Chain A
Amino acid sequence: AQSVSQHNHHVILSEAASLELGCNYSYGGTVNLFWYVQYPGQHLQLLLKYFSGDPLVKGIKGFEAEFIKSKFSFNLRKPSVQWSDTAEYFCAVREFYGQNFVFGPGTRLSVLP
């Protein structure tokens, strides 16, 4: 069965620091990749997605992610975090036109003002 791992359970950064959250998946075929964010007390919202084409994907709020097929990775980055980025971040993978999404366990990001 497909699995998704996220490298860090909890990341603590100061404002203006750079962010990179790791995501790796196990499926060897073509995949669709997603990053979702969950702000405290809220539902999951899509940050960005990769279906095909340029492996560097830009999303909302200054986030970007890079798909590296050879490493089965889809890491999320942001050059300078803000206090308002405090949230939980989930990586998700779906086999191309597959049945379901598989979510990683999430990474909690705390940004200190």
Chain B
Amino acid sequence: DADVTQTPRNRITKTGKRIMLECSQTKGHDRMYWYRQDPGLGLRLIYYSFDVKDINKGEISDGYSVSRQAQAKFSLSLESAIPNQTALYFCATSSGVDEQYFGPGTRLTVT
């Protein structure tokens, strides 16, 4: 089984809709991250959490919110989706002293 899972894997939604992307991990890591990937821009950090009570904004948090429901679960929400939020979204985890482990990604299209 995969260490980091994301649901859904693909989603098409309309402008103005609320959508939630979910991430679960079995690695036992405290740190979890949400990134978006756009062609030519690499990965940009949206939000990160170092434990259940710790939530921090990344470089592009506007238009997004997160919830850390448990050590193993970290959800990303788009309260009112807009077309320029069309991207590939990755969840990642880390122990803090080692590399990050990535989920399979969610391809989100906002029409």
Contacts and interface: CB of A to CB of B under 8 A. Distances in A.
A43 B40 contact: no
A44 B40 contact: no
Nearest to A1: B59
Interface in B65-111: 90, 92, 94, 96-97, 99-100, 102-105
Contacts of A101: 33, 45, 94, 100
Contacts of A104: 42
A103 B35 CA distance: 10
Interface in A2-54: 9, 34, 36, 42-46, 49
A105 B92 CA distance: 17
Contacts, number: 41
A44 B97 contact: no
A70 interface: no
A8 B104 CA distance: 25
Nearest to B43: A103
Interface residues of B, number: 21
B104 A105 contact: no
B99 A106 contact: no
Contacts of B96: 97
Judged by DSSP, the binding face of B is strand
Contact of A43 (B94, B99, B102): B102
A34 B99 contact: yes
Interface in A57-113: 90, 92, 97, 99-101, 103-106
A50 to B, nearest CB: 11
A49 B100 CA distance: 11
Interface of B: 33, 35, 40-45, 48, 58, 90, 92, 94, 96-97, 99-100, 102-105
Interface of A: 9, 34, 36, 42-46, 49, 90, 92, 97, 99-101, 103-106
22 contacts: A9-B40, A36-B102, A42-B104, A43-B90, A43-B104, A43-B105, A44-B90, A44-B92, A46-B99, A49-B99, A90-B42, A90-B43, A92-B100, A99-B48, A100-B48, A100-B58, A101-B33, A103-B44, A104-B42, A105-B40, A105-B42, A106-B40
